Amino acid sequence: MVWGAFTNASSAMMAMSYDLGTISQNVANVNTTGYKDTETLFRTQLSETLASPSSDGTSRSGMGTSIFGVGAVSRTDITNQGVITPTSNANDLAIDGNGFFVVAQPDFTTGGAPATVSISDPSKVSYTRAGDFSQVAGAGGQGYYVTQTGQYVLGWMADSTGTITPGGALTPVYTMPTTVMAPVPTTTASILANIPSDVTPTPSNPTGTSTVADGNGANQTMTMTWTRTGGDTWTVTPSVDPSVGSVTSGAISVTLDSNGNIVSPTTPGAQAVSVAWGAANGNSTTTPTINLSASKPTLNFQTMSLNIYDAPVQPAAPAAQLPEEHSLQLEFECSGTDQWYLHFNSSEVGATVNTASIPVTFNADGTLATPATATPVSVTWADGQTSNVSLDLTKLTQLAGTQIQINSITQNGAASGTIVSQQFNSVGQMVGSFSNGQSRVLFQLPVATFVSENSLAPISGTLFQQTQASGPPTIQTIDQVGANTIGGSVTSGTSMFVPSALETSTADVGTEFTRMIIAQKAYSTNSAVFKVTDEMLTTVRDLQT
């Protein structure tokens, strides 16, 4: 049994020494980003089994005494979530929830970033929660994101339209300081605005007068009554005092353009009218001319401007044309209670609006009644280029006021632009902002999850590799982590990226000092057992002498 005391005490001291090493590692990394604390677990281990002697001096099996010691093993609690702390560094990124960043070693043949990385080769791919990234310059001026230990951060690269294909090849993520966004012609536009209800509508039957000569050469007054038949069309009915004669020609059809000018008939200032005069006024028929323009109604517009980019027909390079910005005026004319006409106009000389005015009506509560769907608008510009835009008016309202109130006018066109900045968002997309006011997704970071994350092999305090026990990684977008299908719909996951933030170490100083005191006390106690056992053997030795 003395031998057992020596064995047990010495194994205990070695185990406590191992535990102190683990504790010191945790304390040293209490401020290390993404560090996962390691704990020491103890287990008994059989040293040997001794057979006890029988009363006649022979040994009897099955009556032995087992001598146990203690062994120490480490366990890293990788799934333990550290505190997310905001920083002022745009390169920093934290994961709130499950998952790991996917990183890769540099290309050993060139010393630079690998073109693509396959996760099927576990020796080249590692996983980490430490998002304190920095940038290193690439051969083409790119700024590659790397970990503090030099691994390249991997992600999916978007195409020229900003579309990501998850599950494709992983490539190192880098900034693109020379990226240029190609110009985009306008195809859709939307207006969020309030049209004032307290405005005077255009009279439905405005009138004007003109002086004409009767059959005797005396001046008579001719009345011109305008009757609206559409947004741009009217009929003009000339008349004279019935006591002097009657107009025998029919009503005149008139078309106004979006500026309120007469475009048909083409000679509005000299329009002939046939009048049959009575006996007192010459008893004859004459055809005096009248000026329609002098009596045309005055249209009161509530106007806003929509900037759109044309879609030029592309000739062969190098003469290819880029979309140019144009301005289209949207002119709302009140024609009655809750009733309006929308006219389209351009101040650009030579431009032709190919779309006639459209009726716009509102419900009694101020919401839009018609048009209920987007309106196609076509314009041919002075340079011959065209724009065909689907205009969404469904967000218009008609509430109290005398002036139009514009909240927002959006359209999907843009001029070419150079990149200004890049930053990550909460789903791991690196979004580039361009000088033309547009933005586009450049990369998307995936996350890796494992069946048994605590079985990953730590190759440093913050870097891990897969093992047979951990299983292969599942590479997916972060919003897919923890997602469920409920009622046929896929819910969003429980994890997210936090830009400009870091996950702190899970090591706690208070806990580690408590463990240190316990380990120190256990070590001292076992050393006392070892010392007492040594003294007992010394006593036995002295008795024999």
With a cut of 60, say whether residue 321 has pLDDT above it: no
Q: Which of 105-114, 374-383, 495-504 has the lowest mean pLDDT?
A: 105-114
Over the chain, what is the mean pLDDT?
85
Q: For residue 528, which phi and psi values (nearest 5 degrees)?
A: -65, -40
**What is the average pLDDT across 109-130?**
82
Question: What local confidence, expressed as pLDDT, does residue 34 receive?
Answer: 86
Contact between residue 506 and residue 99 where contact means Cβ atoms under 8 Å apart? no
With a cut of 50, say whether residue 61 has pLDDT above it: no
With a cut of 70, say whether residue 294 has pLDDT above it: yes
Alpha helices in 65-201 (DSSP H): none
Question: What local confidence, expressed as pLDDT, does residue 1 receive?
Answer: 59
Residue carrying the six token digits 């009897």: 60
Cα radius of gyration rounded to whole Å, the chain: 43
The CATH class that applies to domain 188-199+300-415 reads: mainly beta
Report the alpha-carbon angle 423-428-432, nearest 5. Answer: 30
**What is the average pLDDT across 120-124?**
82
Domain with CATH 2.60.98.20 in the chain: 188-199+300-415
Question: What local confidence, expressed as pLDDT, does residue 275 receive?
Answer: 95
Report residue 246's pLDDT band, with 50, 70 and 90 as the boundaries: very high
**What is the average pLDDT across 219-248?**
94
With a cut of 90, say whether residue 539 has pLDDT above it: no
Question: What local confidence, expressed as pLDDT, does residue 316 receive?
Answer: 46
**What is the average pLDDT across 341-352?**
90
Neighbours of 80 (CB within 10 A): 12
What's 373's DSSP letter? S
Q: Return the top range by mean pLDDT from 162-176, 227-241, 447-461.
A: 227-241
Residue 322 CA to residue 314 CA, distance in Å, equals 8
Q: Which residues contact 142 (CB under 8 A, 6 or more apart)?
A: 174, 175, 176, 177
Residue 388 CA to residue 378 CA, distance in Å, equals 5
In DSSP notation, 123-155 reads: GGEEEE---B-EEEE-TTS-EEEE-TTSPEEEE
Question: What local confidence, expressed as pLDDT, does residue 18 receive?
Answer: 83
**What is the average pLDDT across 507-516?**
86
Question: What local confidence, expressed as pLDDT, does residue 318 receive?
Answer: 47
Report residue 54's pLDDT band, with 50, 70 and 90 as the boundaries: low
- The residue among 415, 419, 474 whose CA lies nearest residue 443 is 419
Contact between residue 271 and residue 290 where contact means Cβ atoms under 8 Å apart? yes
With a cut of 80, say whether residue 57 has pLDDT above it: no
